[in-house]
Structure 1
């Protein structure tokens, strides 16, 4: 009996100390549950659609993960991506070359990220307040720029990430899936195998201790917001490949959805703990829940309730695991 209790304790400790394990198990449980309760969930076309639906939020969540790892938060990530889509689509419609339009959207998104990080680091203001202000400004600028219109994507380059291919003649995949996977792997490597990644975690855990150990805290935080801005620009490109239309009213809850994916993926809102691979799982959990509950005939409002409960539970587990580690 004692041995069994010890084994259960060891398993629980492993799950608590490995942030991505819990979300992976939750994703597996959700897939099994929906496979048993619906007739269509495990169809290859449905699984492909689930992944495609998670691409934009998953990409936004990737940038959000970097910010949250430094104990910050970015409420303006979706608004930044929306402005990027508008710039790309409208510039092409007004005669600009597509590569220039794409580059402009990416540079503006990176600039917004760098400006946000600069304000946070130089004025030492709370990221919540700074990004809330940025959200308001960028949303207003987007609507002024769009002038109440939406802009169709008329160029193949802007919609390139939505290009579809079929594996084995059945499984639909898009270029955007490959790009998203590559981004997650690159940032996973950067966070786990480079000095920059170690600095990001150190700053999130304790910025003062990081400073005393020789880490340039402000430079690290600024670089995180800059990289996150670039990721949001790529999310804009993903969005145009997913839906070939730039709309100033799109992704109004994208910032909250990305935070949800990050939290469900095991990244701590208190900073210094988590992984981008966990965020990938978290984004898939959100997409699987919405798809499965829709196919089960559950109203979308109850889907939001279920997602909210999961977020609260995820934060509670994170808080509990931190206390255990102390």
Structure 2
């Protein structure tokens, strides 16, 4: 026989965050605690600022990847779309003499058009997202190499490198790119949590057939999602250029896996319909903290990749078990 307080206790339990929600935060705190114990330099303001700078490009790409994964898809082309966008905006500005602001918008538009192409091929021809984005990955890579002649673009105008500039918050130096990244996460969090399009996105990922029966225009949603993801990749291209000071045709070759890693570690289900953009940000920070911390304690980059791969497999396995339950 239940006690009178049992219903209240159940209601209290319903409002507690799930393990999938607090897991990424706990993992980030544990990783930070471990590296603090191993290196006195880890907790310095300079190093924490460096982690944020190193994370911001992958974090922005991961926003687009999260939107796609929430629909039950995946995007392998994101890194190369970023690289193509960076070469377009830098070549336009330096070689063609296009005003920097217009060149930036051209680079973002180039990535967005590739995203639109992905969406059209997936929805109109009914090709699997994995195959489509694998194909556009190779197309974007080839176009990047051909258009740049496999050479970096230098002597960029100051306007393109604005987001690599820093300002001081106490003893810490923070880049404007980091602020832009956080603002984009805040805006995406609001859209997914408090707007009708956000709820439609989750509904499509949970059950595509049920979403269709509800009257949702699934194809339109998917095309919008892939196009919007392309916009995020273009913005990530701008942040990458502003951080390095060059248009690098060799960039973006690992960012696809890094973004998927951030999404999965952040608790977003690869089956679609479950996850949060806040978790993705935490996942990106986990990757950044691990790579930075392992570098500080002298671990080879090969082992950094190994540990990242293990983390991804563990996160996907946990998601699979949770999905079965």
Q: TM-score, normalised on structure 1?
A: 0.93
> Over the residues paired in the alignment, what is the CA RMSD in angstroms?
1.6
SS in 1 for 2:167: strand
Alignment partner, residue 238 of structure 2: 237
Alignment partner, residue 77 of structure 2: 76
Alignment partner, residue 32 of structure 2: 31
Give, in angstroms, the shift of residue 319 of structure 1.
Answer: 1.3
Deviations 1:133-181 (A, max 9, x none): 100111101111001211015211110110111112x101011011000
**What is the alpha-carbon distance in structure 1 between the residues aligned to residue 159 and residue 115 of structure 2?**
24
5+ long unaligned stretches in structure 2: 1-8
State which drifts further: 292-301 or 276-285: 292-301
Alignment partner, residue 138 of structure 1: 140
Give, in angstroms, the shift of residue 21 of structure 1.
Answer: 1.1
SS in 1 for 2:20: coil
Asked if structure 2 preserves the Cα contact closer than 8 Å seen for 1:158 and 1:241, the reply is: yes
| 1:263 is the counterpart of 2:260 | no
Give, in angstroms, the shift of residue 18 of structure 1.
Answer: 5.1
Give, in angstroms, the shift of residue 301 of structure 1.
Answer: 1.2
Q: TM-score, normalised on structure 2?
A: 0.93
SS in 1 for 2:173: strand
Structure 1 residues 57-72: aligned runs within 5 Å: 57-72=58-73
Alignment partner, residue 222 of structure 2: 221
Alignment partner, residue 4 of structure 1: none
**What is the alpha-carbon distance in structure 1 between the residues aligned to residue 300 and residue 19 of structure 2?**
34
| 1:190 is the counterpart of 2:191 | yes
Give, in angstroms, the shift of residue 115 of structure 1.
Answer: 1.3
Structure 1 residues 177-326: aligned runs within 5 Å: 177-324=178-325
Deviations 1:188-246 (A, max 9, x none): 11111111111111111110011011111111111111110110110000101110111
**What is the alpha-carbon distance in structure 2 between the residues aligned to residue 323 and residue 14 of structure 1?**
22
**What is the alpha-carbon distance in structure 2 between the residues aligned to residue 18 and residue 298 of structure 1?**
30
**What is the alpha-carbon distance in structure 1 between the residues aligned to residue 315 and residue 84 of structure 2?**
31
| 1:49 is the counterpart of 2:47 | no
Asked if structure 2 preserves the Cα contact closer than 8 Å seen for 1:153 and 1:240, the reply is: no
